[in-house]
Structures are given as C-alpha cells and as structure tokens.
Amino acid sequence: MRQLFFLLSLIAFDVHAASYEAATEQVKAQLIASVNAVHAGDEILIGVNQRIIPHWHTYWKNPGDSGLPTTINYDLPAGSLAGEIQWATPNLIRSGPVVNFGYDHEITLLSSLKISKDAVVGSQFPIKAKVNWLVCEETCIPQEVELALELPVVDLNTDTGRGSLLIEQARANLPIPSPWKITLEQHDHFLTLRIVGDELKSPSIQNIAFYPEEWGRINHSAEQSQKIVGNAIELQLKSGDSPITTGNALKGILAVTENNGDISTRGYSVDVVLDDVAPNAKTAEQSDLVLSSAMLLALLGGIILNLMPCVFPVLSIKALSLLKHAQQSPTETKLQGLAYTAGILVSFILLGVLLILLKAGGAQIGWGFQFQSPLFVLIVAYLMFAVGLSLSGVFSIGGSIIGVGSSLTQKSGYSGSFFTGVLATIVATPCTAPFMGAALGFALSQPPFALLAVFISLGFGLALPYLLLSYSPSLQRYLPKPGVWMDRLKQAMAFPMYAAAVWLVWVLVQQAGVNSIVIALGGMVLISFAAWLYETTKFSGIFTQRISTGLAIAALMTALMSGYFGIETSAAVTVENSENTAEKNVEPYSAERLRALRAEGKPVFVNFTAAWCISCLVNEKVALSQSSVKDEFKKRGITYLKGDWTNRDAEITKILSEFGRSGVPLYLYYPAGINTSPDILPQILTPEIVLQAFAAKEVNML
C-alpha cells in the first residue's frame, strides 16, 4: 500500500485555484467558519469539510496499517494563529488483513483560529488553506487543494452571525473527556484497558473499541475482546510493534456504539498511564519471586561473562595473579580472592548508582552506555595500552602486576587484586552474555534497590570462578610452580592488551571519524614516553627524578587533554562504512522504515548492534555474514535492518527497553504478514540458529 502511494505520488495531481471550495474526482472540499464576520481579537472555529464519494476514504491522525493523515496548512494575516486539527472520532476500515482508521462519506476537520488584535474594522480578514490528503479505495491517490475564505471585520457592537451549520455538526463528532475511571495493565503481550461504569453493561451498547493515537502501540487488526468484571468492562488489546512501556501514557479514543433505535457512535478521549501493579501482599510476594529470578539469571550471566571475548584481555592478569597467589598461604590466597571480588562488586555498585542517577535525570541509557562516549573509549584504550606496557616490562611501579599507582600496591598486593577486579568490570561492560539481557532489562525498569541487587548478583557471578579457585586448595595443586617461565608468560600476555587497545581505537573511529586515529596514536606515543622516562630515571638522583616525573605527568596530561578537546562526537557512521553497509545489502534501521516494511507485509530482520560490542561483531562474523545465511535472506526476500547503537541513540534505547533489554545485541525477526509478532533470537548466534528461526516461524504460520 505504501509503495503504491509513492508511485502514485509521482503523478501530477489536481491543484485548484483558491476559492472557498474545490473538488477532485473523489473528494469535494470547502473551507468553513463558525461565524459570518469577525471581531478583532476573537477566537473562532474554522474547518475543512470533505465530502467523499462512496467506497472511498481519507485517514485519521493515526492512519493505521497504511495511509497518511490529512494535513492543513493555514496562511493567515500577521498576528493570527490557527491551532492543531481537532480530529473527530474515526471509523475502522478493513481491507483484507489491513486495518485503517479514517473517514468516509463526510468529515469536517476543525481548528481554532485566533484573530489578530490589529484587524481593522471594515476590512476583510483573509483565510487561506492548503489541504493535502490521501484518498483510497483499492488504489490510493494523493490530492491537494487550495481554499480561501474572507470574513468581514466588524465592530464589537455588531453580531458576527452563526456561520456554517457544519461547524456545530463537526463539534458534535469530536471525542469528549471520558466520564469513567480508566486504568491500564499489561500482561505478557497484552494490555488490559479497564473502564469502570455500570452504564457500559447496558444491552443497548453494541460495541466498544479503542483507537490508538500513535502507530504501533497496539496490534490494529487483532480482535479486541471484552468482558464484564464487576462494575467494569475490560478490553484486551494485543501489543503492537512499538509497545507502550511502564510510566508512559496510552492515548486514543474509546468508541462506544449504541443502538437506541438509531445506531450512533460516540468517542471518548483516553489518556491513561501504564503503571506498576499496586503493591499488596500477593503482588509483593510475586515481585520477590521475579527479583529472585532476575538475580539468578544475573548470577549465571556473570559466570558466563568470563568466557565472553570482552573479558579475554584481562584474563591474562587474572591468570598471572592466580599463579602468583597460589604459592602463598591458604589464608593469603583467600584474601586475594576476596579483594578481587570486592573490586568487581564495588565497581558494579558504582555503575548501578550512576545508572540510577541518570535515570532519575530522565536519560535513556542501557548496559554499556559509557562506551557510547568517545572520550571514555579513548581513556580505556589508553589504559589497555598502559597495562600492556607494564606486562611487557617497559615500566613497573612497585610490585603490583597491573602497575597502576604506587598507592595500589600496598597491603601485600590486595590493592592490586582489588583494581584488577575494577579493570575486569570495565572491559566486561561492552559484552552481554546469555541470561544477562533479561536480567538487566528487568533491573533497569525497577526501583533502585532491585536494580542494585541485580547488578551485585551479576558482579558476583563475574568474580565467582576466581573466588572458588582461591578457596579450593585441591584445584590449586594442579597449577604449575612459579619459575622464569612466568615472566615470559607475563610478557606474552601483554599482546591481548595491545589487541584490545587496537580494537578500541577502531571503535573510536566509528564514533568520531578518522581524525581520531591521530589523537589516539599520538596519546599512546606520549604514554610510552612517560613510561620510558619514569622507568629509566626512577633510580637517579632526587632532582633528576623530579624533573622526569614532571615531564612524565605533563606527557600523560597532554594525552588526556588532547583527547578531551580534540575528539568531537559524531552520531553518524563514516561515509565509507555507509557504502560498505550498502554493498552488504544491509539498510540502516529507522522506526519509519520498519513501519513501512511491516505495512507492506514484508519479512524483516533487525540487528541492534554497536561497534564496541564484541559479542555483536562475533555474531555478525560467525553467523550473519555466512553465505548460507545471506542466501536465505535473499531467498525469502528478508530486508535486513541494522540499528547502530555505537553512539547514543534514544530511539534505539527505547526499542531495547520495549523488548525488555538494556543493551545490545538484540535480534528481531518479523516474518511476512501485516500483523505478525517478532521472534527474539538468542544473544549468541550461529548460522543454524538463524536458519532455524526463519524455518520455525514459517511453520508456525502454516
């Protein structure tokens, strides 16, 4: 339907000379007013009346599965202002599986009009309107007319007249505020609209239907079943492709059709917020059960996070720490494990608190949000590079294996273990492991206490394998004894850190453009200079040490300040990447593009990803880029949409939260059909998983 519209929009449509009325083959339009004359400073009603031939229709503000709403652009004298269209209660128009909201036969679209206080008595007040609409039967035709109306300006003692009778008829068709208490609840993929009012149970009520103002809030074609519960009517609505989330309002019109000899429909405006269920003894218990499940999922996700590619660079530090501490006393080894665990838990608590504060400030954020900042990515790249230099033996500070600050090396290396846990948390945040998605999505929708509980469980899961090894002497006996080989292994383990720094520089380029390479590599040169200067002069005289330390600090500050002032965030990917994406037959995601494809009934695969998400990149390489998968996309006519969350994108954040996720990756498959619901694929993909998802959805539809 939408493709047909764009094709027909290329055809020249009739544009009529400005007069108070104009007509196309399907629609006759006229510009009307609530008065015959005006006073300066008055507020009146104006409107465009449309008379539509049988079997054809125009559209409401939410056209439904296809179509476009009518638009009116008023041209008025200076100092005058026309309000928004006051939409009348629409009709439900079905065409096979396609459901639309619109008008047939006749409709008047009203707007308020404020007359300029400078209007001169005895002059004419001109009103011009350019009206565009889409009129459809089996085909759709875009049309435009220009209308004009002049009203005399009279003095305050002169009656302005009643104007067109069509205005009052139109006002009678406008929805009125609901006289009933209305609440909204959500259960799985359904919304329950509860309207409290005994009069709605009258036998004369033939039908009650809800029309949403915004596309995608509900499934338009799904049956709206209703039942009587006590003194209320409950209307069940199936969630759509852009479902409402807790704390947001569902707006629309409740259309009540009544037969009292004549069948009539009255519209009532609905503006109801989807709230959490009110707490009571039963729901509190259910909430605990949900929280406990989320904490268990977070614990499992944290354990698996140790195996994810994001955490691999820091595994070298953990492995070397374990080998070193295993030769100490059992008590010392346990304390080192506790220090490492404390570092992870404190980091996750701080991250949770930051998320709570950002949410309270109205920000839309998710897991790994800090990597959407190019400056943060640059700093972590510097940190990975510095740790690599330390492992390579370029410099060392005290006895800490991570070599970050002499203050971190005291207390028998406990600070070293603590900050190793901090580093593990930093490098883990770009990854999302299985079980984590649902747990984090739940956490971000909960009060602060529940959010922190889930984050602590996730952190404990990340620390648990190392903690168990620290407390298990039997397992430690299988570890090799220390020797010269450990120094060689330490140097070899520097290269994963360098690789992580290279990856982060690549992420930085996606966010801030190719010029950021110079800043990042220049900063690494300065860090190398600072490390070399410190290491070669640390045993020199006090004066030399002070000079070299000052120069080293100046080099580090220059690296950081050049990053702070030199990197400008760009929300768009580079032109080169856009061209590469196009070559791979992948389209950039947008809500409008998804909506258009869904309205046409085409199958769609949506990949929400980010350049800093290693799991996402691995999935694309291992599964989505395989020839068998790409051939299946082509064979089934599946459009591949890619949503890039590398830089902050509120629209993608909102979509992730609507599917109960707090971060990427998220994979959605919409099979062919107008109103099919999407399948959510696992966070770890293989070609077989993707192909089976396509085949399984096709079988379910048969």
Cα Rg of the chain, angstroms? 33
At residue 444 the predicted structure's pLDDT band, cuts being 50, 70 and 90, is low
- The reported pLDDT for the residue numbered 483 is 58
Sheet holding 205-212, edge to edge: 176-177, 263-273, 249-259, 205-212
User: Residue 702 pLDDT > 50, yes or no?
Assistant: no
What is the structure's pLDDT at 40? 93
Q: Is the pLDDT of residue 18 over 50?
A: no
**615: CB partners within 8 A, 6+ apart:** 308, 309, 310, 431, 432, 433, 665, 683, 684
pLDDT of residue 324: 62
Residue with tokens 């009258």: 202
Q: Is the dihedral of CA 268, 274, 279, 283 positive or negative?
A: positive
Does residue 459 have a pLDDT over 80? yes
- Per-residue pLDDT, 94: 84
Query: Which pLDDT belongs to residue 253?
Result: 95
Which of 438-447, 461-470, 556-565, 567-576 is predicted least confidently?
567-576
**Residue 227 to residue 235: CA distance in whole angstroms:** 7
Contacts of 635 (CB under 8 A, 6+ apart): none
- Mean pLDDT score of the chain: 78
pLDDT value for 570: 40
* pLDDT score of 269: 92
Residues of the chain with CATH 3.40.30.10: 577-701
CATH topology of domain 577-701: Glutaredoxin (3.40.30)
Question: What 3-state DSSP class applies to 668?
Answer: strand
The answer to whether residues 457 and 302 touch, using CB atoms and an 8 Å cutoff, is yes
Residue 406 has pLDDT above 60, yes or no: no
If you average pLDDT over residues 403-422, what whole number do you get?
57
Given a cut of 60, is residue 4 above it in pLDDT? Answer: no
Alpha-carbon span 172 to 420, nearest angstrom = 70
Lowest mean pLDDT among 227-241, 308-322, 467-481: 308-322
Confidence of residue 652 (pLDDT cuts 50, 70, 90): confident
* Over residues 415-444, mean pLDDT: 71
Kindly state the average pLDDT of the residues 669-694. Answer: 82
- Give the SS3 label for residue 46: strand
Helices (H) and strands (E) counted in the chain, each on its own, are 20, 24
Mean pLDDT of 448-461: 87
Superfamily designation of domain 2-174: Thiol:disulfide interchange protein DsbD, N-terminal domain (2.60.40.1250)
pLDDT exceeds cutoff 90 at 51: yes
Residue 665 pLDDT > 70, yes or no? yes
Convert the pLDDT of each residue in 210-253 to its tens digit.
Answer: 999 988 888 888 888 888 877 788 898 988 877 887 778 899 99
User: What pLDDT is stored for residue 403 in this prediction?
Assistant: 39
Lowest-pLDDT range of 30-44, 71-85, 388-402, 509-523: 388-402
AA identity, residue 648: R
* Residue 662, SS3 per DSSP: coil
409-443 CB burial, b ≥16 within 10 A, e <16: beeebbbbbbbbbbbbbbbbbbbbbbbbbbbbbbb
| Residue closest to 515 by CA, chosen among 566, 571, 579 | 566
pLDDT at 579 (0 to 100)? 41
pLDDT band at 407 (very low <50, low <70, confident <90, very high): very low
Tell me which H or E stretch contains 549.
helix 542-566
- pLDDT higher than 90, residue 87: yes
pLDDT of residue 546: 79
Lookup: tokens for 313: 């660079």
- Which of 241-245, 348-352, 581-585 is most confident? 348-352
Query: Cα–chain-centroid distance for residue 667?
Result: 13
Nearest to 698 by CA among 680, 673, 681: 673
pLDDT mean over 48-74: 93
H/E stretch holding 47 reads strand 43-52
- 3-state SS class at 356: helix
- Residue 146, pLDDT score: 93
- Which residue spans of the chain are classified as CATH 2.60.40.1250? 2-174
pLDDT of residue 371: 66
CATH of span 177-273: 2.60.40
Question: How far apart are the C-alpha atoms of 697 and 702, rounded to whole Å?
Answer: 9
Segment of 353-357, 393-397, 409-413 carrying the highest mean pLDDT: 353-357
Give the pLDDT confidence score for residue 107 in this predicted structure: 95
Cα–Cα distance for residue pair 62/560, rounded to 1 Å: 50
Max mean pLDDT range (169-178, 350-359, 530-539): 169-178
Mean pLDDT for the stretch of residues 1-21: 43
**Which of these, 52, 113, 84, 95, lies nearest to 213 by C-alpha position?**
84
Range in 182-191, 225-234, 294-303, 671-680 with the lowest mean pLDDT: 671-680
Q: Is the pLDDT of residue 453 over 70?
A: yes
The pLDDT of residue 305 is: 76
Digit-coded pLDDT (tens) for 75-86: 999 999 999 999
